[in-house]
Structure 1
């Protein structure tokens, strides 16, 4: 009988996330583990190195809450909605204190996760050629191609202490299924020392077995699976709810004022006991505009021996 890996979010974060760790919260515009980031804030975990391939409001929130001292990332903006003003204050003006920023290209971040997942020390890339990244990031180095191709840049493997991702569903043992834009969810999980996965729902084992190709992370990689409906908001979850563009645009204005930003964190995160409390604070009608229509995929015949 597979071990039941279901945990409440508060317990999963308390058990696996510690001050001073390197923590990946991954999801590239989709399946973002926002609720897990909020729980890190509630538990006042500090000194973190935050790793995200792309930026979004949770970067601002973790910085403003005092959880993060270093950011490792590639794209640092609020998607199509504007800037991350708390991050800009830290980098451009060291206000209220600086944050260390280790920057890569998106291709470089993918290569780092892939190397970490494969147990390799580094990975070759071409996406930095001709850019200023090489001058600004001493971790991007060059080696001689042993097959005669000349010099090529390499980036170090990424193996976070904890990797946290979000997905659509899992079984009780932690076999994780996802679809839509996956980003580096799978690579981040395989690269992590401990792995927490928040999901929209837990389903029966038979559901997972009926569609095995949707399993992106097998249970033996996962330490804790957390039932967390709407846990990616304001990011979308394919098949469950849409992207909250209104929130994203509002964030770009709200975060301009550091006092207003901290008031938002005090009210919506620190002022709530858990993710359910955060959702309740938004109100039941909030989700009406994020509802989506059904669009089913066609059945697939996997076949079975007679």
Structure 2
């Protein structure tokens, strides 16, 4: 059953050094506030999993929180490279980063297998691809019924999954609306799941066929309005495109990046204070 907690307490209690952590959200509902809190608490030696690493993983890698990245595609959407990711892989700054690359379909199926309690996922993929040459975990299996050769990959079962959503009720049930990505599968695959939400309500008023994560499948629910910024939250606020653009020169330079996280993350008490600081300087 999910507890209603502050984000600070949830991260302190449920994310430990050395954990495998998935922060999921596709296009919108990216759990930025949770990434900030992981940096504030200086969590170390994390194996990070994400289908599309973007700014939140650039931040965690550059802050020295990560030892390994399991991913499919990585970049600053619409802008370019993740410079902290590149620096860690190419020049081992601030520390070496092991990478394990998959395709989108592969990783999505691996989450689904993890959510189903299966040891691996099977999919029709990688014909003509060189990716299996650099990722020895991508194997081939023959169908016992047809003999067809298929790809197989280990299931993903994080110690902790973190997602952002629109609403939770006071019992800890969570409603997600808009593009789902793999949030549901990642949440159900994990041993523990932290959800940040825009608001806590008496009744979700979930429409028919909505995605509702039940309280018994979650560990903690945290009220963090705006917690997906600079990504958008469907029905609440739009994507902050200028932030993505501004991130590029910040992340390119080690000194600029280190100064930014010292000022805006380690120098703020929580995500609300971070947003206030950001808004104050914009004015």
TM-score by length of 1: 0.89
- CA distance 1:209–1:238, shift in 2 (3 Å): closer
- Structure-2 residue corresponding to 1:131: 129
Q: Pick from 212, 215, 220 the counterpart of residue 219 of structure 1.
A: 215
3-state secondary structure, aligned to 2:198: strand
Separation of aligned partners in 1, 2:239 and 2:12: 29
Instruction: State the Cα distance separating 1:191 from its structure 2 match.
Output: 0.3
Contact kept in structure 2, 1:32 and 1:232, CA below 8 Å? yes
Separation of aligned partners in 2, 1:81 and 1:136: 27
Separation of aligned partners in 1, 2:182 and 2:66: 22
Q: Pick from 58, 74, 77 the counterpart of residue 75 of structure 2.
A: 77
Q: Which runs of 5+ in 1 are unaligned?
A: 288-306
3-state secondary structure, aligned to 2:99: strand
Separation of aligned partners in 2, 1:286 and 1:161: 38
- CA distance 1:161–1:181, shift in 2 (3 Å): same
Instruction: State the Cα distance separating 1:210 from its structure 2 match.
Output: 5.2
- Structure-2 residue corresponding to 1:27: 25
Instruction: State the Cα distance separating 1:164 from its structure 2 match.
Output: 0.5
Instruction: State the Cα distance separating 1:51 from its structure 2 match.
Output: 0.6
Trace 1:1-306 onto structure 2 (pairs within 5 A). Answer: 5-205=3-203, 208-209=204-205, 211=207, 213-283=209-279
Separation of aligned partners in 2, 1:234 and 1:132: 34
Separation of aligned partners in 2, 1:12 and 1:251: 27
Contact kept in structure 2, 1:175 and 1:215, CA below 8 Å? no
Which of 1 and 2 has greater Rg?
1
Separation of aligned partners in 2, 1:262 and 1:285: 18
Q: Which runs of 5+ in 2 are unaligned?
A: none
Separation of aligned partners in 2, 1:268 and 1:96: 19
When the two chains are superposed, the root-mean-square deviation of aligned CA atoms in Å is 1.6
Instruction: State the Cα distance separating 1:67 from its structure 2 match.
Output: 0.6
Count residues with an aligned counterpart.
Answer: 283
- CA distance 1:260–1:213, shift in 2 (3 Å): same
- CA distance 1:212–1:203, shift in 2 (3 Å): farther
Contact kept in structure 2, 1:21 and 1:49, CA below 8 Å? yes
Point out 4+ residue stretches in structure 1 off by more than 4 angstroms.
284-287
Separation of aligned partners in 2, 1:26 and 1:4: 18
Instruction: State the Cα distance separating 1:209 from its structure 2 match.
Output: 4.8
Instruction: State the Cα distance separating 1:127 from its structure 2 match.
Output: 2.9
Instruction: State the Cα distance separating 1:203 from its structure 2 match.
Output: 1.0
